[in-house]
Each structure stands twice: as structure tokens, then as C-alpha cells.
Amino acid sequence: MKEYTSKLLLFGEHSIIKGSQALAMPLFHFSGNWEYATEDISKKQMNLSTFANHLEELKNIDQLLCDLDVERFKDELSKGLFFKSNIPTGYGVGSSGALCAAVYDTFCDNKLEKISTNFSPLKKIFAQLESFFHGSSSGTDPLICFLEKVILLESTEKIEQVNIQEAIELDHYNRGQFFLLDTKISRETGSFVNVFLEKCTDNYYFARIQSELNPLVNEAITTFLNQNRRSLFEMIHEIAHFQFKYFLEMIPNDFRPIWLDGLASDLYKLKLCGAGGGGFLLGMTFDFKKTQEKLSSYNLIPINI
């Protein structure tokens, strides 16, 4: 069956809320797909039946934003349908986003076009679907999982699909390697967003976000899209330095020493991957083998972007 990919927020974690751009893309390392269980489906289905009932209630009061065939969804669930996924939950890489994309893609009778100059209606649909799992949702995660395209968010409302040059065009010396470092800590995104919003009520802190972080994030996105990887490495260094200074509570204690080691050398750099507090850290290096040796105690997952 069709695979639904996870997603990666490359740049713009937290700062998108306060005016920066953000860049998100499909993360093909993890994915999920529909399968049918032959036995003991209760654990596999988790709360899909409750989700289906929730969608049915919305449809009955004419508040469901898409033409979803909820009856067919519930019928397939009764036959053992479940979403088989290796996307880690609580990591901010779109486990619920991929599920919502799969539900919409499979059971919506009149889907909106994937090629569009206005993704707002589709984003609103996904926000409604994913809010069941998170209480509230921007809809961005399932949008990325559904489109499987690189998306530039110029604000929380203005989004556009962008094309990037193939990294393969760069020679080996200048290509660099992105990687995910698994903290093995599951967390709730909302709690760390709330920490950020509370800190932004301080005028000095908010001024630093607007005058320092937002320009760094925007420049890093432009540099990435232009595939200037050497300059991007320096931009990630600056973002990592800012995050260590102003987002320290979002960096798990056990990972602060290697974060600082990265800042002190030119071997690798680490930054938050999503809300922080656990999940993955995002890294970049120009010598992945040496970085693996240096960080041999941790699980590093190379990703091709």
C-alpha cells in the first residue's frame, strides 16, 4: 500500500510563531501505511476508532471541513485496518501528521489539488483532523506528509512550495551531511511552545528573537535553498549558539556537553529539531565518519537533504 512519509522542520522552530520564515520538508527515513491485522487489532489500531467517531460527530453537525467518507473508514477499521508506522511518536517528525494525511488521502471523496498556489484550505482541513490528537494543530505537519514537497512558510498563514537544487550537484567536499541524533526522549510539543511564548512576554527576550534569531533563520533558509552548504554550516553555528543561550531548557541536560563541543569545533553543529525537549537533534557535518566516531555513544541517522 501507499507509504506516507514523516516530515522535518529544518528551520524556523518556535521563531515562525514570532515572525520568521520556516522551511519544512518530507523526511523519507520514516513512513507509515495502511495494513490489515489478522489478530489482536486493538493495540495496532490504538485510538483510530475514537478518531473515526470524532469525525462522524463533526460530519453529523455539518462541521467537517472535507468530504470524508467516515462510514467507509469505520467499516474498514472493523475489518482490521490499522496504520503501520515506524515514525517515532513524541519526536516532532509527524507521526500524527502522516496518519491524518493517510486518512484524508484514502477516505476523502473530493480531495483538493496537490498542485496549488493557495494551500490554506488544505491546511485548515488538516488542522481540524490533527487537532483530535494534539488539542490544536496548525495543519502543517499533515500538509507536508500529504504533499511530499518542500514548503516555505513565510508566515503562519502564507505558504508556498519551493524547489531546491539537488545536493548531488555539489562535490563531495562541499556537500556536507545532515543527520538526526536520537535523544530517546519522547515529549509533548505543546508544552515547549508554551515555554517559548511565556519567555516572549519579556521585552528583552522578545527583542532578541526579532532582532537576532529571525534574521538568522531567514538567512539560513535562503542559504539552504541556494545550496551554499559551507555558508549554511556557519549559519547553523550561529543558530545553535543562540539556541544554547536563549533556549537552554529545550536542550536536554545530557546533550548540552556535546552541543557545546560542536560549537567549539568545526567538526559538527547541533540545533533543535522541532520544539525541543527531546526527540531528535538536527546535526550537520562535513566529516560524518569522524562525527560518528566522536559521538559513538549516540544513534546518528544520516539524512539526505
- 136-178 tens-digit pLDDT: 788 899 999 999 999 999 876 788 888 876 554 556 667 899 9
SS3 (DSSP) at 170: coil
Instruction: Say what the pTM is.
Output: 0.89
Per-residue pLDDT, 173: 64
Pairwise CA distance, residues 52 & 37, whole Å: 18
| Percent of the chain at pLDDT exceeding 70 | 94
Over residues 28-41, the mean pLDDT reads 86
Band the pLDDT of 40: cuts 50, 70, 90: low
Per-residue pLDDT, 38: 76
- 111-140 tens-digit pLDDT: 887 777 788 899 999 999 999 987 778 889
Predicted confidence (pLDDT) at residue 293 exceeds the cutoff of 80: yes
Domains and CATH numbers, the chain: 4-161 (3.30.230.10), 167-303 (3.30.70.890)
Predicted confidence (pLDDT) at residue 41 exceeds the cutoff of 70: no
Which cell numbers hold the place of 46? 490504538
Per-residue pLDDT, 138: 85
Give the chain's mean pLDDT: 91
Compute the C-alpha angle 266/272/275, nearest 5°: 175
Residue 73 vs residues 56, 68, 82, 99, 102: alpha-carbon distances, Å:
10, 9, 11, 13, 11
Beta bridge partners of 22: 153
Which cell numbers hold the place of 181? 541524533
Per-residue pLDDT, 63: 97
Phi and psi angles of residue 186, each rounded to the nearest 5 degrees, phi first: -85, 145
Predicted confidence (pLDDT) at residue 44 exceeds the cutoff of 80: no
Per-residue pLDDT, 115: 72
- 181-239 tens-digit pLDDT: 999 998 877 688 889 999 999 999 999 999 999 999 999 999 999 889 999 999 999 99
Phi and psi angles of residue 298, each rounded to the nearest 5 degrees, phi first: -120, 155
* Beta strand ranges found along the chain (DSSP E): 4-11, 22-36, 81-85, 151-153, 159-161, 177-182, 268-272, 280-285, 299-303
- 245-267 tens-digit pLDDT: 999 999 999 999 999 999 999 99
Band the pLDDT of 12: cuts 50, 70, 90: very high
Over residues 295-302, the mean pLDDT reads 96
Residue 189 CB neighbour total at 10 angstroms: 19
- 60-77 tens-digit pLDDT: 999 999 999 999 999 999
Per-residue pLDDT, 89: 87
Predicted confidence (pLDDT) at residue 180 exceeds the cutoff of 70: yes
Pairwise CA distance, residues 2 & 14, whole Å: 32
Predicted confidence (pLDDT) at residue 274 exceeds the cutoff of 90: no
| Whether 267 contacts 290, CB under 8 Å | yes
Residue 119 CB neighbour total at 10 angstroms: 24
